Copies of this chain bind each other. A is one copy, B any other.
Amino acid sequence: MDNFTFCNPTQIEFGKEKEKEVGNHLHIIGAKKVLLTYGSERIKKDGLFDTVVKSLKEFDIAFIELGGIVSNPLLSKVYEGIEVAKANHVDAILSVGGGSVLDSSKAIAAGTLYAGDVWDFFLGKVAVERALPIFDIITLAATGSEMNCGGVVTNDTTKQKYAIQSPFLFPKVSIINPELQSSVSKDYLVYSASDIIAHCIEGYFTATVQPTLINKQIEAIITTVMETTEKLLSNPKDYDARAEFAWAATCALNGLTYVGTSGFGYPNHMIEHALSAICNVAHGAGLSVVMPAWMRWYKDKNEAQFARFAKTIFGLDDAKAGIDALEAWFTKIGTPTKLSHMNITKETLEAVIDNATENAVYFGMKDLYTKEAITKILTSAL
């Protein structure tokens, strides 16, 4: 077990009607004016926007809106948010939406208090030294951003899908009401399941030091996600399944599944970021295509762990069979497992491979993930 430092100060407010208290949480830290970020206008139709505004008004908290944040969120929108936040002297960010809205909000929170270009943080040129306090109501269970200090944004110009990370970017309070997540489409439910599983397996398979307790905790999350996904496909209104799915998503990337581990990488994310940057596919959909292909390519490097995965997740005695079973499960729930399912052809793939090869440098994995290796993995997923 490796040495580690762990500190996750985010306050989680989990459960029914928790969004009604959002004004109070902002009030506690003395916020007077917030930047209210969101994605589509749907939150104005389904009542969530009104609930939030009502709670803000109760505590005399003014707000400026920044709507229109898209999936695979864009740097241009982050720039816009920073301008709005600066011009209006907001003292906190309130993100109402999924991981894309929250990730953008984190970048805005850091960028607003920085004189230079916020992209500097993504490029690792400078470290975040302060940020506006971040609050969120998370309406999609997938990225885990609600309880971690990272965020991913795509630079529209360079097509780099890169990450910002800093202890200053932990949300102060994250509100997770599973009921608000029950209107998510079937497609986004299964993409989310894929994303959560990807967060679980990156370290699980690649870490050179991997404590048994961490293995078990990860397996607990994976099996919970699989069980609750199936329940939700049968009955989207199953509150307990929705709640466990949501909490599993949070647990999968709040740092606790990485303590004491070392040597791990994020190869599936590295490759998928290229897919979604170039082809704008849903992140989880891209991941369910990349994962089986990557697993087959990587299996021999950590055969014992793949055998463990096959046994504990699927009750199978063979490492390869575990990969097949995961792929079959992805197919069963309806998330793509081949590039062709997303209409990505061999021709399109060239730009993706180039982008992923650049990512390999950014992710610090260029020695293992050469252009040849990435080509092999992605070609096998055609």
Contacts and interface: CB of A to CB of B under 8 A. Distances in A.
Interface of A: 1-16, 18, 178, 211-213, 216-217, 219-221, 223-224, 227, 239-240, 243-244, 247-248, 251, 256, 259-260
Contacts of A9: 7, 9
25 contacts: A1-B178, A1-B243, A2-B15, A3-B14, A4-B15, A5-B12, A5-B13, A5-B14, A6-B12, A7-B9, A8-B8, A9-B9, A14-B260, A211-B243, A212-B224, A212-B227, A212-B244, A213-B224, A213-B244, A213-B247, A216-B219, A216-B224, A220-B220, A243-B260, A247-B259
Contacts of A240: 1, 211
A192 to B, nearest CB: 16
A166 to B, nearest CB: 16
Contacts of A224: 212-213, 216
Given A1-B240, A243-B260, A260-B243, A213 B7 contact: no
Contact of A244 (B15, B211, B221): B211
Nearest to A240: B1
Number of copies: 2
A168 to B, nearest CB: 14
Contacts of A3: 14-16, 18
A323 B10 CA distance: 38
Nearest to A215: B220
Given A1-B243, A243-B260, A247-B260, 9 more contacts: A1-B15, A1-B244, A2-B15, A4-B14, A5-B11, A6-B12, A216-B220, A219-B220, A256-B256
A289 to B, nearest CB: 27
Nearest to A21: B5
Contacts of A178: 1
A16 B13 CA distance: 35
Contacts of A18: 3
